[in-house]
Amino acid sequence: MEYDDSPTAAELADRARAFVDEVVLPVERERNDVEAVSRSELADLREAARDYGVYCPQIGEEWGGMGVSLRDALPAFEQAGRSLLGPPAMRVDAPDEGNMHLLELLGTEAQKDRWLRPLVDGDLVSGFSMTEPLPGAGSDPKMIRTRAERDGDEWVIDGHKWWTTNGVEADLLLVFARTDPDAHPYGGCSILLVPADAPGVHVERDIPHLGRGTSHAEIRYDGVRVPRENLLGPENEGFRGVQLRLGPARLTHCMRFSGMAERALAVAKAYLHERRAFGEPLAEKQGLRFEIADAETRLHAARTTIRHAADRLAAGEEARVEVAMSKVFTASVAQDAIDTAVQLCGGNGIARDLPLADFYETVRMFRIVDGADEVHRRTIARAAFEEHRPEEVAGVARFDDR
């Protein structure tokens, strides 16, 4: 399919596809377990990504990236997503990718020197610490209970978080906390940069979970002290910072998972050509061909929706509805495509010899992370009903359009 991608985007995506095909997939097949890849092996992959000209395209050159715009980088994210090793190899992996983006947007020069540059280089790992156990913040972030209070030249943080991705191995934690208890949460929360080895940071456990390749930590912050200059962005404007991070990060998530779905369908099509049953290749069975056709159609629609949302962001719009549509639709499309691939490959689909089983585990959480389906549908529905509010005539709502 042809998309309205710029020459820069197309060339970057071509290099990313070549990198994944020629470098990443051989390592994936040799190791056969993404979690068994060592740090030194990952460092080698990242060095190769630099050689191919695809390393951290989304961050500015002055901080070690390539300075490519979000819209132009998105197709490369999709190519990276064709393997679970692709995103960390190209340094476009969540949550570091979103955290680096936020640091680049809101960080001071000192913060960028200390944290952003090492993150881009892959010398540090970060986590975004926002979600809390009951009765704290989850799908409704206004329920935030973690507190940060000023004490002289320091912030003192107390709270209980979980589902902090990368939290077990993180060197840096971006902690979302209430800094003005008297204000509405939208105007009383901030983001603080917390070294993971700071006294009072207690990683309780890696929560057992579906998915491969990342930890999701439960963390307690007990009287954690950080300097006042560790405030990321303006005080009490943390919700604005979160939105600056989540909009683009949701689209990059979408592209990574669309790449995963593309690879899953490619594996299934190859299998259907090779496997014979009832006198002919499975690829000749009309029912199976139609399943592939439906999956390809929906994946094309998802890719188009993501690009449309990215265009709106590039135009300076908030694009909350477009991003919400992209996220909820792509999550469903990717899950269905991967499920179809597993089914069509039969026993091979559930074996670890192919990547499909790992993909199947990992894709399910995409309908929850970065906003559950229901949250995004709420955003879409609110806009739909506000745009078409019925006129009030003599106290009776009109519902006809005659």
DSSP-H helix ranges across 162-216: none
Q: Extract the runs of DSSP E, i.e. beta strands, from 96-198.
A: 126-129, 147-151, 154-165, 172-178, 189-195
Q: State pLDDT tens for residues 30-84.
A: 987 888 888 899 999 999 999 999 999 999 999 999 999 999 999 999 999 999 9
Average pLDDT in the chain: 94
**Mean pLDDT for the stretch of residues 184-211:** 96
Provide the whole-model pTM.
0.93
Q: What is the pLDDT of residues 350-391, one digit of tens each?
A: 999 999 999 999 999 999 999 999 999 999 999 999 866 655
Query: Do the beta carbons of residue 185 and residue 144 sit within 8 Å?
Result: yes
Burial 200-211, CB ≥16 within 10 A → b, else e: ebebeeeeeeeb
pLDDT bucket at 400, cuts 50 / 70 / 90: low
How far is the C-alpha of 396 from the C-alpha of 394, rounded, in Å?
A: 6
Residue 81: C-alpha distances to residues 63, 256, 370 (Å): 24, 4, 17
Cβ(123)–Cβ(89) below 8 Å = no
pLDDT of residue 394: 47
pLDDT for residue 399: 47
- Residue ranges and CATH numbers for the domains of the chain are 7-93 (1.10.540.10), 126-232 (2.40.110.10), 239-387 (1.20.140.10)
Give the pair of three-digit tokens for residue 276: 């014979």
From CA 33, how far away is CA 20, in angstroms rounded?
16
User: Can you give the pLDDT at residue 32?
Assistant: 77
CA distance 81 to 54: 13
